[in-house]
Amino acid sequence: MRHTERHRTQHIGWLRAAVLGANDGIVSTASLIVGVAAASASHPGILLTGIAGLVAGAMSMAAGEYVSVHSQADTEKADLLRERRELDADRPSELRELTAIYVARGVERQLAQQVAHQLMEHDDLGAHARDELGMSDIVSARPLQAALSSAFSFAVGAMLPLAVTALAPQQALITYVSATSLAFLALLGVAAAKVGGAGVWAGAWRVTFWGALAMAITAGVGKLFGAVV
């Protein structure tokens, strides 16, 4: 019978990249807009700066996630290749190693040896990848998925403060962008917490606090130097 129960860890592959991208899109774009607005730039200039930040940020997030996650995937492949060689070179030793792992988890030695033997007969590399190396299909690295999730979510997040910038009057631009961006961040924290099964208030507070800090520092820099940040 195929196991069909779904767990929250199945969301890890895309959830981390999506939350990171959306959070970065909101924070970086809102901070950029607030910093430029604090430097007394024109409304069209502020909007153009935000659009440039969206495009550059989305491309940067995609490239960064792809490279970093691909490095993880390369490490996983190298470990699997090494394990394959060890299995081919000394299978009895690998059987004892797998048996010891199950014994350490509380299985009686004779039963652990039987389980290890049967699992290795079924899929020797898969058994060692899962129980010795801690790899599984759920948490394995997927570079393209991470890159696309990050780029898309960054663009969506960045569009929110950009839309506010396009509609808000310049005189109150900083207030509008700051307030709405903090609200967007709080909603993002709540949504991510619900999907991940974490505390809602903790998730909302965490992203809102750091977003507010980032915007405050950027606004201060823009005000201090009076130039585009």
In a domain, 50, yes or no: yes
pLDDT in tens, 155-178: 999 999 999 999 999 888 989 998
Does residue 39 lie within any of the structural domains?
Answer: yes
Rounded Cα distance between 2 and 171, Å, is 61
Mean pLDDT in the chain?
Answer: 81
pLDDT, position 56: 92
Q: How many domains does the chain have?
A: 1
In a domain? residue 182: yes
77-82-88 Cα angle (round to 5): 125
Residue 77 vs residues 83, 99, 128, 154, 180: alpha-carbon distances, Å? 10, 24, 13, 29, 44
Asked whether the predicted pLDDT for residue 3 surpasses 70, the reply is no
Query: Is there a contact between 30 and 177 (Cβ–Cβ < 8 Å)?
Result: yes
The string of pLDDT tens digits covering residues 42-84 is 889 999 999 999 999 999 888 888 888 888 778 888 888 888 8
Domain that holds residue 153: 12-225
Tokens 């491309």 belong to 59
pLDDT at res. 229: 41
Residue 218 counted as domain residue: yes
Task: Tell me whether residue 200 is in a domain.
Answer: yes
